[in-house]
Structure 1
């Protein structure tokens, strides 16, 4: 694993007990990454991937993307990112390990996000993600996230 992958895998698993139970891990580096979760702990009673696991993985992939984007503008330790709205469209059942990918956000949209975050200390970004087995798409997800600059504690 890369330092980037190790750092995020540790943060996800320690910060979100559900993700530890799902055995989520990040594969890749800052330039190209995916979230993975093995099928077995994420299956349902129909021997397909559990919808809650699929939507959770997509939601977290978007959250991570926005954290990384916000960290380009502000100190990552002074940012809080939360999901505001999310919509998962379940396309087809999945009977394999889960792989989540975020579609790159348009450069112009990212520029607005960065300017707004720098100026106001708060900005929204909509991201699109898919979850599947790496070849077949099982879920299409759209989420709007809010990044907020945290108050700095006195030194």
Structure 2
């Protein structure tokens, strides 16, 4: 799946992504960057709306896990199981959320569990950056349940 295909899937399956103007900027087998433009996601303080930051980070994680499952020819429903976010500084521009799974053993462990039990869980750290500086960090667990 390419970034444009994943973005279309988001627009189809999660309609709010269109209102937030979510964009899948980059996608690899183990990383993703998702963004949302400031003008569509600002609040009354002229900073990025916290709900949009949370949603953009969540969508980065959901999209990466969905991509990984499909890329590895598994069929599962991806859901956010739990998440916490820490907002460290206001964002005054576009919201950019990125996530990377650097350790391939994490992916292999997830796949073995998914294959044997029909479900798996991935813990991800999603970083929200502006001008190269981290402004928020989400710790999120995504569950995947076998379909079909």
TM-score, normalising length: structure 2: 0.91
Pairwise CA distance, 1:73? 3.9
Q: Which structure has the greater CA radius of gyration?
A: 1
- Contact kept? 2:6, 2:67, Cα under 8 Å: no
Query: Hey, what's the Cα distance between the residues in 2 that align with 1:4 and 1:16?
Result: 18
Pairwise CA distance, 1:55? 0.5
After superposition, the C-alpha distances for 1:1-56 in whole angstroms (9 at most, x for unaligned) are: xx712101111122212110000011124345310110001000000000000010
Structure 2 unaligned runs (5+)?
A: none
- Contact kept? 2:118, 2:146, Cα under 8 Å: yes
After superposition, the C-alpha distances for 1:60-114 in whole angstroms (9 at most, x for unaligned) are: 1111111122234443xx3100010000100100000111100325222221101
Q: Which residue of 1 aligns with 2:55?
A: 56
**1:5-154 pair list within 5 angstroms:** 5-31=3-29, 32-75=31-74, 78-151=75-148
TM-score, normalising length: structure 1: 0.87
Query: Hey, what's the Cα distance between the residues in 2 that align with 1:105 and 1:29?
Result: 14
Aligned pairs, number = 147
Structure 1 unaligned runs (5+)?
A: none
